[in-house]
Amino acid sequence: MSGGLPPPPSLRFAVAAGLVGAALLARGDRRGLALMESTPEGAARSFMAAVICLPAFLALRFFTWAEAPEGEDLFGRAMLAELIGFTIAWTAFALASRPIVQSWDRLGAWPRFIAAWNWSNVVQYVVLLLITVPTMLGLPQAVGQVLLLLGLGYAIWIEWFVVRAALDVGGLRAAALVGFDFALGLFLSGVVQRLSNG
């Protein structure tokens, strides 16, 4: 077949490219963007990152719940609420960011931005796991808190860098979009807490 559009990459290739691209972006290397798909279909495929991150998300929740009072129901309503919140969080920011990006006249870059944002979340979850596990294994609490702050700061920087690089916007606009994502996350966290408590 000649003269037509090339076929889309296989899901396996798209996942591998997304993860490698995210690793490059996590080092501040803009070349990672070249590995991100730039079509709406590619942006949709990048939500496979949520599936990859789900085990890490559940592990982080279990670490938190390990300190909960005995007898508290953690595998019924609370688990369902967390899974609902996880699912909504992955889609809410993507949908809400679109009109913002459009108002900046950067809508053409939005699919690649979403792909980069999704795959970069994998790096962020890995960083949070690497910080949390030593603390759960007996690392002094003060050291654990410092590591957590450093990890959160790094995760915020990754997102800021991805926004700036993928959308080709200034630092202030990138910071505003990261702040919006953070505020949305806090809102959804409150909703999850209310659902968990009934």
Q: How far is CA 167 from the centre of its chain?
A: 17
Per-residue pLDDT tens for 120-174?
999 999 998 888 877 777 778 788 788 888 988 999 999 999 999 999 999 999 9
C-alpha pair distances (Å), 108 with each of 38, 111, 115: 9, 7, 13
Instruction: Please tell me the distance from the alpha carbon of residue 136 to that of residue 7, in angstroms, as a whole number.
Output: 46
First to last CA, the chain: 58
For the four alpha carbons of 125, 133, 156 and 92, in that order, the dihedral sign comes to positive
Name which residue leads in pLDDT, 7 or 83.
83
The first and second tokens of residue 113, run together, are: 């931005």
Q: Identify the band that residue 195 occupies on the pLDDT scale cut at 50, 70 and 90.
A: confident
> Could you tell me if 159 and 194 are in contact, meaning their C-beta atoms sit under 8 angstroms apart?
no
Domain extent listing, the chain: 11-197
Reduce the DSSP state of residue 175 to 3 states and report it: helix
pLDDT greater than 50 at residue 1: no
138: left (phi over 0), alpha (psi -120 to 50) or beta: left
Closest to 17 (Cα-Cα) out of 2, 37, 1, 44 = 37
Q: Which residue has the higher pLDDT, 54 or 6?
A: 54
Predicted confidence at residue 16, as pLDDT, reads 94
pTM for this entry: 0.87
Q: Which residue has the higher pLDDT, 85 or 119?
A: 119
Residue that has been written with the tokens 């709406």 in this structure: 40
Number of alpha carbons in the 13 Å side-chain half-sphere of residue 44: 5
List alpha helices for the chain, DSSP H.
11-26, 40-45, 48-65, 77-103, 110-136, 141-167, 171-197
Quick one: pLDDT at residue 141? 78
Collapsing DSSP states into helix, strand and coil, what is residue 71? coil
At 68 the pLDDT is: 58
Q: Which residues of 31-58 are buried (b: 16+ CB within 10 A; e: fewer)?
A: ebbebbbbeeebbebbebbbebbeebbe
What is the per-residue pLDDT across 109-120, written as a single tens digit (0 to 9) for each?
Answer: 999 999 999 999
Mean pLDDT of 72-100: 85
pLDDT tens for each residue of 19-69:
999 999 999 999 999 999 999 999 999 999 999 999 999 888 887 766 655
